[in-house]
Amino acid sequence: MSEAIQQPNYFEFYGLPIQFNPDQNAVKAKFYALSKQFHPDFYANESEEKQQEVLDLSTLNNKAYQTLSNPNKRLKYVLELKGIVATDEGYQLPQSFLMEMMDINEALMDLEFEPDAEKLTQVKRDVEAIEKGLKDELENLKIQFDQDPEKSEALLPSMKDNFYRQKYIDRIRERL
């Protein structure tokens, strides 16, 4: 297992609780406030160390905002922050899901050899239905997590599983 890289806690930096759906107005307000506070022009007469420190904080602020304002980046970030998802992890998807994907992959292979607009439309519909199911499940888990952070740890394995199934679907989407 590779050593986890300690990444900055953007929620802590913004003074917000760790959530999958943080208040976006609060995120934006904090971003603008810190952008002003750490603007390099205000530190032009400071020492090089101080200028570098302000530049680092300004960069951290930009990264925090990019992550916390984007639902997909935020999902991955929170799961990594909680130590649930590792960058180069080989995650074992559930057998039932893999069987379902095998059918879709076989249909896609058939379509490469014998293009069929009707069959392609059906495969796209199947993939969209799976995707919608995953998104609905994830939204439900996010809401539960944000409402009750004390019991939220128990939800993380399900969220991790959903995250990796979604990644698999994204790869299939690229082939469609």
What is the enclosing helix (H) or strand (E) of 57?
A: helix 48-68
User: Any residues with CB less than 8 A from the CB of 15 and at least 6 apart, and which?
Assistant: 30
Confidence of residue 70 (pLDDT cuts 50, 70, 90): very high
The reported pLDDT for the residue numbered 85 is 86
What is the pTM for the complete model shown? 0.82
Confidence of residue 7 (pLDDT cuts 50, 70, 90): confident
Domain ranges of the chain: 10-81, 95-175
Confidence of residue 115 (pLDDT cuts 50, 70, 90): very high
Neighbours of 136 (CB within 10 A): 10
Task: Please state the rounded mean pLDDT for residues 76-94.
Answer: 86
Confidence of residue 6 (pLDDT cuts 50, 70, 90): low
Superfamily covering domain 10-81: DnaJ domain (1.10.287.110)
Rg of the chain's alpha carbons, rounded to an integer?
Answer: 21
